[in-house]
């Protein structure tokens, strides 16, 4: 092994890959890829954004920006590079393209969708608007560009509560889509009636709908003092039992500022892997599920996208759709800050 490769293997190990169970041969294979990737990024004037649910080798071996949906949208909005390669799912890459119409945006896994984004069409949003005239329509960022284009404001798990509170100051009724459980969780947090004050859609996240509230009770008995953190897409029954409810960025901040014998992250497994690498001194109890879409991106597909992207990996949003969706995203930045 040459010294450059050895240093890269050590860097990946220190980032937590060794303690996550990656063997020496695997680390050596990944290090060779990440070194090539680093050189290609410079040549291609590209930056790589990775959601925290991505595979550890993608996060630590490729990414310039790491974070939740809100942070990544903001990071991409201010980027100077010519190209953005998005390691995540389609709605995230579309958001990057909407905010950077002049840049080339690529999604290494073009088939990486999201059950929430697929749960509602733009025609269904138009129908909701006709049924609730005058009510602002707020969409979760987990939506297609066409759906965002029909909405007044976008929110993410990091700012939904703050933005809805602000909008409720001027409106009696708000339409929130597409995540039903997140809508119900927000309504109970804000003391608003579902239907009369907060109209919700019927979308579900196929990952978070699988967590069961009754096992949370069992974990509390088994691990005294455990802090249970639930993503806001979890069921209202489960959220009621959690110590913290929010998005992945909020969960990381909560772990950093608290001290507990154990933490349980009720969300996609990638967050636990990331948190273990960032805070090796803390103890995490696994209770996670894999998102099949988030795990579609591999280090070699990122490399291939940088070397010779396939047409399907190029993200395009029609200019008239992008212009409308951008307004809803800008409203989010305005109300969230
Ligand atoms: P965050 O913005 O909280 O990272 O959530 C993204 C997501 O897809 C959750 O399932
Ligand atoms: Fe969509 Fe759920 Fe996967 Fe997030 S975890 S990308 S909400 S399917």
Q: Whose CA is nearest to atom 2 of ligand 1?
A: 69
pLDDT for the residue 166: 98
Mean pLDDT value of segment 251-259: 98
Cα(25) to ligand 1 centroid in Å equals 32
If you average pLDDT over residues 6-14, what whole number do you get?
95
Q: CA 13, 16, 17, 18: dihedral to nearest 10 degrees?
A: 60
Q: Which two tokens stand for residue 303?
A: 């490399």
pTM, entire model: 0.96
- Section 162-180 average pLDDT: 98
* Sequence-separated (6 or more) residues with CB below 8 Å from residue 176: 138, 139, 140, 164, 182, 183, 186, 198, 199, 200, 201
For the cut 90, the answer to whether the pLDDT of residue 138 exceeds it is: yes
**SS3 of 250, please?**
helix
Tokens of 205: 């996240």
Classified as helix, coil or strand, 105 is strand
User: How high is the pLDDT of residue 78?
Assistant: 82
Q: At residue 66, what are phi and psi to the nearest 5 degrees?
A: -130, 140
pLDDT for residue 287: 84
Query: Which atom of ligand 1 lies closest to the CA of 156?
Result: 2
* Residue from 96, 160, 248 to probe ligand 1 pocket by mutation (most atoms less than 8 Å from CB): 248
CA of 52 to the centre of ligand 1 (A): 9
> What share of the chain in percent tops pLDDT 90?
97
pLDDT tens by residue, 185-215: 999 999 999 999 999 999 999 999 999 998 8
**What is the overall mean pLDDT for the chain?**
96
For 18-36, write each residue's pLDDT tens digit. Answer: 999 999 999 999 999 999 9
Q: Average pLDDT, stretch 277-292?
A: 93
Q: What is the mean pLDDT of residues 258-279?
A: 96
Q: Domains of the chain, with CATH numbers?
A: 3-112+294-313 (3.40.50.10800), 117-204 (3.40.50.10800), 208-289 (3.40.50.10800)
Distance 88 CA to ligand 2 centre (A): 10
Contact, 80 vs 68, CB < 8 A?
no
Residue with CA closest to ligand 2 atom 6 = 114
Which residues touch 134 (CB under 8 Å, ≥6 apart)? 171, 173
Quote the ligand 2 centre to 100 CA distance (angstroms): 23
Predicted pLDDT of residue 107? 98
Q: Which has the closest alpha carbon to 165: 125, 143, 138?
A: 138
CA of 315 to the centre of ligand 2 (A): 19
Residue 304: predicted pLDDT: 98
Atom of ligand 2 nearest to the CA of 179: 7
Say how far apart CA 294 and CA 51 lie, in whole Å.
Answer: 8
Element (H, E) at 87: strand 83-87
Q: What is the pLDDT of residues 311-336, one digit of tens each?
A: 999 999 999 999 999 999 999 999 99
pLDDT given for residue 92 in this prediction = 98
Pinpoint the alpha helices (H) of 156-298.
160-168, 180-190, 213-222, 236-239, 248-257, 269-278
Q: Whose CA is nearest to atom 7 of ligand 2?
A: 205
The DSSP code for 209 is G
């Amino acid at each position: 092994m040459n010294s450059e490769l050895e240093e890269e293997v050590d860097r990946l190990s220190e980032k937590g890959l060794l303690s996550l169970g990656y063997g020496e041969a695997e680390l050596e294979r990944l290090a060779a890829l990440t070194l090539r990737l680093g050189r290609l990024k410079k040549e291609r004037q590209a930056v790589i954004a990775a959601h925290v649910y991505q595979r550890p080798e993608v996060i630590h071996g490729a990414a310039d920006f790491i974070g939740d949906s809100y942070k990544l949208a903001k990071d991409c909005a201010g980027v100077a590079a010519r190209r953005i390669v998005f390691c995540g799912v389609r709605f995230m890459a579309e958001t990057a393209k909407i905010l950077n119409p002049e840049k080339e945006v690529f999604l290494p896994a073009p088939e990486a969708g999201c059950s929430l984004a697929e749960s509602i069409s733009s025609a269904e949003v138009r129908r909701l608007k006709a049924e609730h005239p005058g009510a602002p329509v707020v969409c979760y960022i987990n939506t297609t560009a066409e759906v965002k284009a029909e909405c007044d404001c976008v929110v993410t798990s990091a700012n939904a509560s703050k933005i809805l509170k602000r909008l409720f100051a001027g409106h009696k009724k708000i339409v929130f889509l597409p995540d039903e459980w997140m809508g119900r969780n927000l309504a109970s947090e804000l003391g608003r009636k579902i239907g009369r004050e907060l109209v919700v859609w019927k979308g579900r996240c196929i990952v978070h709908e699988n967590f069961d509230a009754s096992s949370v009770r069992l974990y509390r008995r088994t691990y005294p003092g455990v802090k249970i953190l639930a993503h806001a897409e979890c069921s209202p029954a489960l959220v009621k039992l959690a110590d913290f409810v929010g998005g992945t960025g909020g969960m990381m901040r909560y772990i950093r500022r608290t001290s507990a014998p154990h933490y349980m992250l009720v969300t996609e497994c990638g967050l636990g892997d990331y948190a273990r690498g960032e805070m090796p001194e803390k103890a995490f109890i696994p209770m996670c599920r894999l998102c099949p879409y988030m795990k579609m991106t591999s280090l070699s597909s990122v490399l291939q996208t940088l070397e010779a992207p396939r047409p399907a990996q190029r993200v395009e949003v029609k200019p008239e759709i992008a212009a409308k969706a951008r307004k809803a995203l800008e409203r989010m930045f305005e109300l969230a800050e």
